[in-house]
Amino acid sequence: MRFLCLHGMGTNCQIMESQIATIRYELDNTHTYDFVEGTLPASLAPELHQFFPIDGSYFEYFDFYSGDTIHKALNNLGSFLELEGPYDGVIAFSQGATLVATYLMRQALKSPQKPLPFQCAVFFCGGMPFDPKALECGEIKQLSKEDGDKLLPGFPTAHIWGRNDNVWPGTSEVLHALCDPKVSTMFLHDEGHSIPGGRAKYAVFGAVKAIRRTLDRVSLVS
C-alpha cells in the first residue's frame, strides 16, 4: 500500500520519518511512504527538546486560531493529493491527524457519493477535527463526541495513543468516538504524546496489530 504521512506541530518530515521507523520496519516491506510538510514555521515541540536542536527548521500545517490558515492547509492537502495521489492510506500524528480528519469529514459531507481519497487512516495521538460546516461559515469549532460517529461511515481507522499523553489529553478519545465503531480499531499504550518506538516493544506490537487489522478491513471492503 502507498501511504501519505503527516507530522505533528513543531516538527518536520524528517522527524516524522524517524518516529515511524520502527512501525514501518514491523509492517510489510511492500508498503511505501511519502511525507508532506507543513508550510508555517514553528518552534520545536517542547516534548522533543531533548532529542533535536531548538534552532532547526520546524513547521506546522495551520494556526489553531486562524481560519484562513486552516482553510489554506485543507486546500493545500487537496491540491497535493490531486498532484501526487492516489494514496491507499494515510498515517498522521497529532496536528497532522487533525488536518487529515477534518479534510476527510469535509469531503464526506460535500460529496457523500464520491469515494474518499484514502481507503483507511492511521491516527497517532490524534487531535480533534474541526467542524467542516462551521469552517464554511467562518467559525472555528472543533467537533466533540456529541457530534456522533456517522461522519465517516464505513471508513476503516486505527487510533493509537498513550494513556500518559499530557500534551493533548483527551483529544484522541474524541477522534476515535467520531469514527465508525464498526470499522475502527483502538490501541492504548503506556507512553505519552509520541509514536511507539524501539524502546517500547509492547506498544509497537500493539500499534502494528491495530494497523494490520485496519489494513485487513480495507482488503475486505475492496
The residue type at 52: F
Active site residue 111: no
Could you confirm whether 63 is annotated as catalytic?
Answer: no
Q: Is 18 considered catalytic here? A: no
Give yes or no for a contact between 175 and 129, defined as CB atoms under 8 angstroms apart: yes
Catalytic residue among 159, 176, 189, 193: 193
Q: Peptide bond before 86: cis, by omega within 30 degrees of 0?
A: yes
DSSP 120: E
CA distances for 98 relative to 45, 82, 110, 157, 163, angstroms: 16, 20, 18, 14, 19
Distance between CA 136 and CA 141 in Å, rounded?
A: 11
Asked if 42 contacts 59 with a C-beta cutoff of 8 angstroms, the reply is yes
Which distant-in-sequence residues (6+ apart) come within 8 Å of 94 by Cβ?
A: 7, 8, 9, 124, 125, 126, 127, 167, 168, 193
Q: Considering the candidates 94, 172, 184, 194, report the single residue annotated as catalytic.
A: 94
Q: Which of 165, 176, 189, 194 is catalytic?
A: 165
How far is the CA of 210 from the CAs of 14, 160, 178, in angstroms? 24, 8, 18
H-type helices in 20-159, by residue range?
21-26, 67-84, 95-110, 132-136
- Tell me the catalytic residues: 94, 165, 193
